[in-house]
A and B are shown apart, each in its own frame.
Chain A
Amino acid sequence: MTRMALEISDLRLSFEGITETTEVLHGISLSVAPEERVALVGESGSGKSVTARAVLGLLQSQKRVRMSGRIEFEGQDLAAMTSRQRQALRGSRLSMIFQDPVSSLNPVYRIQTQFHEVLKRDDPSISLEDAKRRIRPMLSEVSIAEPDRVLESFPFQLSGGMNQRVMIAMALINEPSLLIADEPGTALDVTVQDQTLRLMRRLVERRRAAVLFISHNLGIVREFSDRIYVIHTGRIVEEGPTDAVFANPGHPYTRALLAAVPRITGGDIPEIDENPSAYEAPRVVHAPAAGVA
Chain B
Amino acid sequence: MTRTVRIILSSPLSITGVLLIGFVVLSAVFADLVTPFPEHSGTVVDFAKLNQPPQWPNIMGTDLVGRDLFSRIIFAYRISLVLGVVVLVLAVPTGVTIGLVAGYLGGWPRFVLMRTTDVFLSIPPLVLAMSIMGVLEPTLMNGMIAVTVMWWPWYSRLVYNIVLAEREEGYVLAAEIIGASRLHIMFREILPNCFPAIITKMTLDLGFVILIASSLSFLGLGVQPPTPDLGSMVAEGAKYLPDSWWLTVFPGLAILIAVFGFNLLGDALRDILGNEQ
Contacts and interface: CB of A to CB of B under 8 A. Distances in A.
A117 B180 contact: yes
A58 B179 CA distance: 10
A88 B179 contact: yes
A105 interface: yes
Interface string B171-197: 101111111110000000100110100
Given A98-B173, A105-B170, A105-B174, 10 more contacts: A56-B177, A63-B107, A91-B179, A91-B180, A98-B170, A102-B170, A103-B169, A104-B170, A106-B189, A108-B193
B277 interface: yes
Given A103-B169, A103-B171, A156-B277, A96 B192 contact: no
Interface residues of B, number: 18
A121 interface: yes
Nearest to B191: A108
Contact of A121 (B179, B189, B192, B193): B179
Contacts of A95: 177-178
Interface residues of A, number: 26
Contacts of B174: 96, 98, 104-105
B171 A106 contact: yes
A90 interface: yes
Interface string B146-174: 00000000000000000000000111011
A108 B192 contact: yes
Contacts of B277: 107, 156
A104 B169 CA distance: 7
A23 interface: no
Which 7 pairs from chain A and chain B are nearest by CB? Answer: A91-B178, A103-B170, A104-B170, A90-B179, A108-B192, A106-B171, A87-B179
Main secondary structure of the interface of A (DSSP, over half): loop
A105 to B, nearest CB: 6
Nearest to B193: A108
Interface string A72-91: 00000000000000011111
B173 A104 contact: yes
Given A103-B169, A156-B277, A90 B177 contact: yes
A96 B173 CA distance: 10
A95 B174 CA distance: 10
Interface string B104-121: 000100000000000000
A35 interface: no
A226 B149 CA distance: 62
Nearest to A89: B179
B35 to A, nearest CB: 43
Contacts of A109: 192
Nearest to B172: A106
Interface in A98-127: 98-100, 102-109, 117-118, 121
Nearest to A154: B277
A231 to B, nearest CB: 21
A108 B199 CA distance: 15
B177 A91 contact: yes
A98 B277 CA distance: 22
Contacts of A92: 179
B96 to A, nearest CB: 15
A87 B175 CA distance: 11
B180 A104 contact: no
Contacts of A98: 170, 173-174
Nearest to A104: B170
Interface in B236-277: 277
A58 B177 contact: yes
A109 B180 CA distance: 16
